[in-house]
Structure 1
Amino acid sequence: MAQAKRRGMVHPLFLLLLLTTSLLISPSAAEIKTLTISSDSRPMILFEKFGFTRTGKASVAVSAVSVASSSASSAATPDPSSRLGFVLLSEESIVQISLDFQQKPNFCVLDSQYILFNFRDLSPPPSSSFNKTYPVISPNEYLLFFANCVPDASISMDVRTELFNVDTDGSKDYLSAGSTQLPSLYFVFSLSYFGFLGFWIYYCYHNRQSAHRIHLLMAGLLLMKALNLLCAAEDKHYVKVTGTPHGWDVLFYMFQFIRVVLLFTVIVLIGTGWSFLKPFLQEKEKKVLMIVIPLQVLANLASVVIGETGPFIKDWVTWNQVFLLVDIICCLAIIFPIVWSIRSLRETSKTDGKAARNLAKLQLFRQFYVVVIGYLYFTRIVVFALRTIAAYKYQWVSNAAEEIASLAFYFVMFYMFRPQERNEYFALDEEEEKEAEMALRDDEFDL
């Protein structure tokens, strides 16, 4: 019987797992969400993560509530409606509740001071509904949970959440305190990329004799990046002022998909030397593209599921894991063509008698290899670290750092492989040939 009673309680390790998971969750765009929970027996269901200011408010409405019990112990629980409800927890309070549970084995999170309401507050059947807005007294980043402390009980209900901060003019801001700057941030960067695209078109036109097909793809990449950021700015703006994206999220995901596929394709094609060193791709290089592009389709599908649903769905963590795994595989895959080009240039230098040209190409691709590794490391590791350690009010800093790193990467990549009549990397003077041969021999010896 004791085991059955504890089955409905929240184990401290489960709470700590939720705390760890919350670190992986970006603050919610907090658009007004209406969702349906059906026969869910989880002891804790995470709905939103949101940064509140001193004027923050949390509105929760539930309706069509029904509770099903699968054992006699559930029916024997005194006043089970008091063991079902919503709580608003900061990361610090999750740790405190874990300690409380260790001291009191039968402790329920709804017994804590962090409760918003329990189901005793619901109107009587058949309506069984509740709707109330709560002011947030202490500004902080909070997680909105539904707690089920009834053993073997499953809950079905319709839930509407509305988390927001109130601006000085009385308007609602539905973006988290650390994300309210994002519309302006994304708009500024979109203008930067549109300017970059204009300059790139101008430069390619004036060097059209040296322009290759890869430069057209690079222009398309800039266009997709600019449109992606513009739609992100509009998406965040409408969420900020209305609580709904007004369809901009559809355009955002569409341009994001095209942009990411183009980015990985351009890196692979440049890494193989296509259009610079050779007019065609080898079979193994085609296989890399055939692997990367479908994986990016899967990654973007996972991104849509993550962004458009939320942690309340049962498979949300799985979709996050799929996204991270696919992203890692793609990042590793695009490195191989660059390594193959470096090896090929090293081998070619032994036979074709063009040591200076090959040394220049070898140096270029090595530099490109370092740039790609640096970009992937910064945007996957450093940005995540910034998002983790930054105060909740400054979460936008990690977004700014990611966009600055991306713009710097685009600029360096485009500069390195720009069209020009006399490429300093590919056309060195013959008098440097002997010196280059020595450098290549030393390089081979060092390796």
Structure 2
Amino acid sequence: MGRHTFPAVLLLLVLSPLIPRSLGEIKSEKIVADPRSMILFEKFGFARGGGVTISVSEVTVFSSLAPPDPALLGFFLISEESLYQALYDAQQRGSNANPNPGANSDTIFCVLSSPYVRRLFTFRDLSPPPASSYNSTLPITAPDEYSLFFANCAAECQVTMSVHTKMYNVQPDGSRDYLSAGQSRLPSLYFSFSIVYIAFLGVWIYVCLVKNRRFTHRIHLLMGCLVLVRALYLICAAEDQHYIKATGTPHGWDVLFYLFQFLKGVLLFTVIVLIGTGWSFLKPFLQEREKKVLMVVIPLQVLANIASVVIGETGPFNQEWITWNQVFLLVDIICCCAIMFPIVWSIKTLRETSKTDGKAARNLAKLTLFRQFYIVVVGYLYFTRIVVFALKTIAAYKYRWVSVAAEEAASLTFYVFMFYMFRPTERNEYFAIDDEEEEAAQVALQAEEFEL
């Protein structure tokens, strides 16, 4: 076991709940001259009666030292609870092993011999060259969430091989379910939320184009596009997960999934920035600094979606998978921070204007509205980035769908609140102010200045 194995695998386990989606649970991977001592291929939640099929072919092993013992290379399954124990045991016992590269293999501790793992096969079980292949289906008798690893315990050894895996559970009717036990409800969950957003869009169209057409601004139309894209994204996500559930692959739905995922992210951040600047409500144009925010956020969203595609279409076996995860997280944090600046600028501008233009009530109403919006945006970003991740991490694998439901429920709540706050209406916080409210606002602003 290499000295960097333990932290690297721990990082994989930490980042694995962040995977936006995956290509499917039937996967074909090509490993080329890979020297890593541990390679994580997949995590999957098995119910009773599930199984894993693994096929390995075109296996070649290159070592700059003596030919390695084939028993030191192989595949194994392990639960997350046992993984920490096995890795720690390997780290401790490996550090006490003979460091001499030419030492006999018996002195090397390999995770494949650990009592905590379920060894599937080693390279000793491969067919003779030139085929050098192995194919087997193994039933899962103890339901749990297992990780499929390849272990390379041989020193200075590089492995090339083609790996084909299938992980599945068996439904009551005997058909295979290729979604993990904690994700099997996702197709119906996504579809249910898409219906809610379609109804939401219908209500928004009625409010904007029928009930209050005279008070509808361009921002309201853009908000309607956001709801439409969100509904289409959820429909594609539902179909994508349905096909993975039934067949193990998304059957092309992943293209539309990524398209609407990109449009959803760009439109959401754009709408928040435009509302935060008061565009279309308070002024018909954007200032240079606000344009710069959009010029930063939109390219970053493009980069985030490229990272999402790479993460989803490859998997943790890829050597750059951790790097792309880190890029995705960094870009997401930058975008979340960037969209807060326009709201803060608007609050600051309104506070300064309220002291000079003599329209205290109107400015106080705007100031209050933008403060509320700021708090809601911060709460939404905190919940979907921190709380949802915590749910993904701590929830039992059978209830992993709960984190998705919580994220979608939070998003729907945020949309409803934002759309209600900035709906088109004749009497809103921007324009309709009477004399009594003006006098009360003057007193409130004076009290606020005194407190500051």
**Shorter-chain TM-score: what band?**
over 0.9
Identify the residue that residue 186 of structure 1 maps to in structure 2: 190
Equivalent residue letter for 2:14: L
Identify the residue that residue 35 of structure 2 maps to in structure 1: 41
Distance of 2:77 and 2:121 partners within structure 1: 10
Q: CA deviation at 1:445?
A: 3.0
Equivalent residue letter for 1:57: G
Identify the residue that residue 102 of structure 2 maps to in structure 1: none
Q: Counterparts of 1:290-439 in structure 2 under 5 Å?
A: 290-424=295-429, 426-439=431-444
> Is the Cα–Cα contact under 8 Å of residues 71 and 123 in structure 2 kept in the other structure?
yes
Q: Counterparts of 1:74-223 in structure 2 under 5 Å?
A: 74-75=66-67, 77=68, 80-101=69-90, 102-103=92-93, 105=97, 106-113=108-115, 114-205=118-209, 206-223=211-228
Return closer, same or farther for 1:399/1:445 CA change in 2, 3 Å cut-off.
Answer: same
Equivalent residue letter for 2:284: P
Q: CA deviation at 1:369?
A: 0.2
Equivalent residue letter for 2:86: I
Equivalent residue letter for 2:82: S
1:58 aligned onto 2:52 = yes
TM-score, L = length of structure 1? 0.94
Q: CA deviation at 1:225?
A: 0.1
Q: CA deviation at 1:98?
A: 2.8
Return closer, same or farther for 1:145/1:128 CA change in 2, 3 Å cut-off.
Answer: same
Equivalent residue letter for 1:195: A
For the aligned residue pairs, the C-alpha RMSD in angstroms reads 1.4
Distance of 1:42 and 1:376 partners within structure 2: 36
Q: CA deviation at 1:441?
A: 2.1
Q: 29-38 vs 246-255, which deviates more?
A: 29-38
Q: CA deviation at 1:168?
A: 1.4
Distance of 1:408 and 1:356 partners within structure 2: 29
Identify the residue that residue 279 of structure 1 maps to in structure 2: 284
> Is the Cα–Cα contact under 8 Å of residues 19 and 94 in structure 1 kept in the other structure?
no
Distance of 1:126 and 1:337 partners within structure 2: 64
Equivalent residue letter for 2:356: T
Q: CA deviation at 1:20?
A: 4.3
- Alpha-carbon displacement from aligned partner over 1:198-233 (angstroms, at most 9, x marks no partner): 100011012010000000100000000000000000
Distance of 2:202 and 2:274 partners within structure 1: 23
* Percent of paired sites with the same residue: 67
Q: CA deviation at 1:434?
A: 2.0
Q: CA deviation at 1:16?
A: 5.1
Q: CA deviation at 1:334?
A: 0.3
> Is the Cα–Cα contact under 8 Å of residues 100 and 107 in structure 1 kept in the other structure?
no
Aligned with residue 15 of structure 1, among 6, 16, 41:
6
Distance of 1:443 and 1:406 partners within structure 2: 33
Q: CA deviation at 1:167?
A: 1.0
Structure 1 runs of 4+ off > 2 angstroms?
Answer: 13-17, 26-31, 98-101, 103-106, 444-447
Equivalent residue letter for 1:108: C
Higher RCO, Cα 8 Å, sep 6+: 2
Q: CA deviation at 1:433?
A: 1.4
Distance of 1:291 and 1:445 partners within structure 2: 38
Equivalent residue letter for 1:181: R
Aligned partner of residue 88 in structure 1, secondary structure: strand
Q: CA deviation at 1:266?
A: 0.2
Distance of 1:171 and 1:385 partners within structure 2: 33
Aligned partner of residue 209 in structure 1, secondary structure: helix
Distance of 2:184 and 2:14 partners within structure 1: 19
Q: CA deviation at 1:66?
A: 0.4
Q: CA deviation at 1:90?
A: 1.1
Q: CA deviation at 1:424?
A: 4.1
Corresponding pairs, count: 433
Aligned partner of residue 214 in structure 2, secondary structure: coil
- Alpha-carbon displacement from aligned partner over 1:159-188 (angstroms, at most 9, x marks no partner): 101111111111111000000000000000
Aligned partner of residue 213 in structure 2, secondary structure: coil
1:443 aligned onto 2:444 = no
Q: CA deviation at 1:340?
A: 0.4
Distance of 2:81 and 2:354 partners within structure 1: 61
Q: CA deviation at 1:431?
A: 2.0
Equivalent residue letter for 2:394: I
Distance of 2:270 and 2:7 partners within structure 1: 40
Unaligned runs of 5+ in 1: 1-8
Q: CA deviation at 1:315?
A: 0.5
- Alpha-carbon displacement from aligned partner over 1:355-374 (angstroms, at most 9, x marks no partner): 00000000000000000000
Unaligned runs of 5+ in 2: 98-107
Equivalent residue letter for 1:15: F
Identify the residue that residue 261 of structure 2 maps to in structure 1: 256
Identify the residue that residue 6 of structure 1 maps to in structure 2: none
Aligned partner of residue 215 in structure 2, secondary structure: coil
Distance of 1:238 and 1:260 partners within structure 2: 24
> Is the Cα–Cα contact under 8 Å of residues 6 and 88 in structure 2 kept in the other structure?
no
Q: CA deviation at 1:99?
A: 3.9
> Is the Cα–Cα contact under 8 Å of residues 361 and 426 in structure 1 kept in the other structure?
no
Aligned partner of residue 63 in structure 1, secondary structure: strand
Identify the residue that residue 4 of structure 1 maps to in structure 2: none
